[in-house]
Structure 1
Amino acid sequence: MRRTRRAPKSRTRSRTGPRNRRRVGNALIGTVTAVALCTGAWLLSSGARTHPPPQPSAAQAASPAGPGTPHHERQPATPHASATASASASGTAPLPPSPPDRVRIPSIGVDTPLMGLGLTKQGSLDVPPPERKNLAGWYEAGTTPGERGTAIVAGHVDNKEGPAVFYQLGALQKGRTIEVARRDGSVAVFTVDANEVYDAADFPDEKVYGAAPRPELRVITCGGRYSKQTGYQGNVVVFAHLTSVR
């Protein structure tokens, strides 16, 4: 996993979720690019360099301002239209906090458990163990998926054995759904607003991690250009917002 600029240390990591402790939000990772295993070890060891993971097309980038667009991309509403715009853009009402246990993305075949992630000693977002390629994680000091704000999920794109849980993330299209099963028994259903890829040097921290007025989700893995020397050069980031609850 590529770890870039340093952020303040978090409190001790817990895999049981934030049920009994105060969450500190995403500010701690506001200047840290969170990506999954970026070395591309499988591409090197297997000789599969002609078959890299799919990358988002330009058509999957954020649309011009309007409902369903990530809130950082929207233009301010005019006073007489603000109430209508707010209602149409909000999706569904926020849920109370509850740790997530599983994430499913049916259109790309993802159905995986989630573990809690903290920050490393260097101040970057921790990751699931690389040998557990079919396990994803969520930033448990931040927003829980379905709660008002921006929830963060990250996972590996590959490891030395082959494709991992988010290998197909770059192929996820706008309008598709992401389901998060929560510990309280509810399932938060998010609709994809955009799927974008960024070079690590130009990672938009505020756009990805910044606070949101509605329940939003970011799903992050490695992507972009690939180098034999340094691995993947960027990140694939999916932007989604809560649209229903089961």
Structure 2
Amino acid sequence: MRGAGRTVPALGLGIVLLVAGCRGVTGEEADPALARSLPIAAPAPPGGSAAPAWPEDSAAAASRGDSTGGSTASGTPGRQKKGAGAASRSRWPAPLPGRPGPAEPVALVVPRAGVNAPITWIGPARDGVLDAPPLWRADVVGWDRSGPAPGEDGPAVVVGHLDTRTGPAVFARLPGVARGDAVAVVRSDGTVVVFRVSSIERARKDAFPVSRVYRVRPYPTIRLVTCGGRYDRERQSYEDNLIVYGDFAAWYRLSDFPGG
């Protein structure tokens, strides 16, 4: 995305993104050690299928006193010695059981694309316009807070700039991601939710795939949206949008990663 005040694709019926101000940065970058430690490839989803077959519910496990995964009855991961079971660049630690549930997103990490960005919140739409992060903070991404949070059932929509007039922005390398790649969200409850890239789509801005982006699944999904295609210098806008679709793969304690 480039050009203050320019509108970009529809994100929902009648909704467009406006490159303008946002509510203020609420998140922060993930610890660099954590970002470096995350494998590029996502873990296999539960059941080894595209549509996750949920493992047992964390609350049920806790009610039996099952310590596997270390969850409490509320589903919040229990405390563990920092760094225990830590991941390396080639492997993931033991995942938590059950569904992640709601929690405020803090940072987005996409290892292949070199993304380690604070998450701010945008929306709800006002008069059909959804704010994008401001160009002067092109290093952050915006989560559409009118929809599910990353880790809740349904589509969490996250938007970011491709570049600005002065250089690359947060999603400059997003076009390089591939199916099976990891997309990780660090959350305020001390967990990391990981999604597996299922598909990448480029669509014209005047034909934004609303039904696909906002399709509700009975498990958490994520959509990363930025600009793409040819840059129209006369209109000062890209012609297309790049959309990265991801499905829930696993979630973890932040403390199980280096820097967590």
Q: TM-score normalised by the shorter chain: which range applies?
A: 0.5 to 0.7
Alignment partner of 2:52 out of 59, 76, 90: 90
The runs of at least 4 consecutive aligned structure 1 residues that moved more than 6 Å come to: none
Q: Within 1, Cα distance between the matches of 2:215 and 2:186? A: 23
- Contact 1:33–1:124, Cα closer than 8 Å, also in 2: yes
Match runs of 1:162-173 below 5 Å: 162-173=167-178
2:182 is equivalent to residue 182 of structure 1: no
Alignment partner of 1:202 out of 207, 218, 230: 207
TM-score by structure 1 length? 0.66
Match runs of 1:5-84 below 5 Å: 29-34=12-17
Q: Within 2, Cα distance between the matches of 1:130 and 1:107? A: 23
SS for the counterpart of 2:170 is: coil
Alignment partner of 2:245 out of 236, 239, 244: 239
- Contact 1:91–1:242, Cα closer than 8 Å, also in 2: no
Counterpart position of 1:52: none
CA RMSD of aligned residues (A): 2.5
Counterpart position of 2:29: none
Q: 1:167 to 1:203 in 2, by over 3 A?
A: same
Counterpart position of 1:219: 224
Counterpart position of 1:145: 150
TM-score by structure 2 length? 0.63
Unaligned runs of 5+ in 2: 1-5, 21-43, 55-97, 253-260
Counterpart position of 1:107: 112
Moved more, 166-175 or 120-129: 120-129
Unaligned runs of 5+ in 1: 6-27, 38-66, 69-83
- Contact 1:3–1:32, Cα closer than 8 Å, also in 2: no
Question: Which of structures 1 and 2 has the bigger CA Rg?
Answer: 2
